Amino acid sequence: MLIRKLKKVVRLLRHLDSVPSIAERLSQMERHIESLATEVATLVSRQAFGHGPDEAEPRRLALVPRMTAERFWWMEAASIPQSMVFMADILPVLNKLVRNRYPYGQQVSVLDVGTSTGAGAQLLARLHRDRFFGAQLSVTALDISDEFQRYARAMFPDIEYRVGDIYQIKEQWDIVTCSHCIEHVPEPGRFAARLCELARDFVLLYAPYNELQLLEGHPNRIDDQFLDSLAALNPIETTFRDSIGWRHPHDAESRCVLVVLPGTAAANHNGAVCELRAA
């Protein structure tokens, strides 16, 4: 397919003079070259990462109709694994809070905000769908965009995937997680405060720390100044860590920060907080 398209572009170049409408021919060439560039980029990326197409890929691609094949490959090869890594990063703290706060086998509700594909939320839900690890977690995955909704509902059956705005939601959950989202949103301080309103017990806010050069799509720098601004929310714990899921292209020592914030029922879980701080 790639070779055929390349040959077609070459033929178009050779016979340019015979075309009645130069504008029409240029338009055709532009479309073919754009398609060719996408396939080349996808092919190179797949070879670099050792990942190839599979028979079910067209059916999965159909679940995200607004997405190009190249971006779809990036979603499955990089974005989804990255989301899972970020959830794995916060699991030790999350599991300690769950173990200290909730009795064995208790049903605990979790909201994952800015979930994107829902892959991280699926990992959490899969690990805690039974009481083997203590409490049973019922995980709702929320994103403001509906782009991944059909994909998530088809591929990640252990979560309840929703599309919505956190400022419009009237419900509460026991725990709210939010991973690598706050750097993208307007008014990050207001956003963090709203997360606390949605949580009865805890908020786990995870983000890239102190980006030296903000990436495209990151209007907010989550630095010490921003962390200090969260003081009014009474943070329970702030920790810094390296993550294999986060490597800033302009910062060899890029790190992440995890902030644990109290929910609206903070007075009811002093024991869990004390044990977390002691650890």
pLDDT in 10s for each residue of the chain, 279 residues? 445 555 555 555 556 555 556 556 556 655 555 555 555 444 444 444 445 556 678 889 999 999 988 899 889 999 999 999 999 999 999 999 999 999 999 999 999 999 999 999 999 999 999 988 889 999 999 999 999 999 999 999 999 999 999 999 999 999 999 999 999 999 999 999 999 999 999 999 999 999 988 888 999 999 999 999 999 999 999 999 999 999 888 777 889 999 999 999 976 655 555 556 555
Examine residue 271 and state whether it is found in any structural domain, yes or no.
yes
Residues 112 and 23 in one domain: no
Residues 89 and 43 in one domain: no
Residues 46 and 163 in one domain: no
The encoded tokens of residue 46 equal 């797949």
Examine residue 267 and state whether it is found in any structural domain, yes or no.
yes
Examine residue 72 and state whether it is found in any structural domain, yes or no.
no
Residues 274 and 194 in one domain: yes
Examine residue 60 and state whether it is found in any structural domain, yes or no.
no
Q: What residues contact residue 254 under an 8 Å CB cut-off, 6+ apart?
A: 208, 209, 211, 246, 247, 248
Domain that holds residue 145: 79-278
Neighbours of 235 (CB within 10 A): 16
Residues 30 and 138 in one domain: no
Residues 132 and 38 in one domain: no
Residues 117 and 34 in one domain: no
pLDDT in tens, 184-210: 999 999 999 999 999 999 999 999 999
**141: CATH:** 3.40.50.150
Residues 85 and 43 in one domain: no
Residues 152 and 22 in one domain: no
Examine residue 200 and state whether it is found in any structural domain, yes or no.
yes
Contact 141, 118 (CB under 8 A): yes
Examine residue 137 and state whether it is found in any structural domain, yes or no.
yes
Contact 216, 257 (CB under 8 A): no
d(CA 119, CA 93): 19
Q: How many domains does the chain have?
A: 2
Examine residue 57 and state whether it is found in any structural domain, yes or no.
no
Q: Rounded to two decimals, what is the model's pTM?
A: 0.79
Residues 101 and 161 in one domain: yes
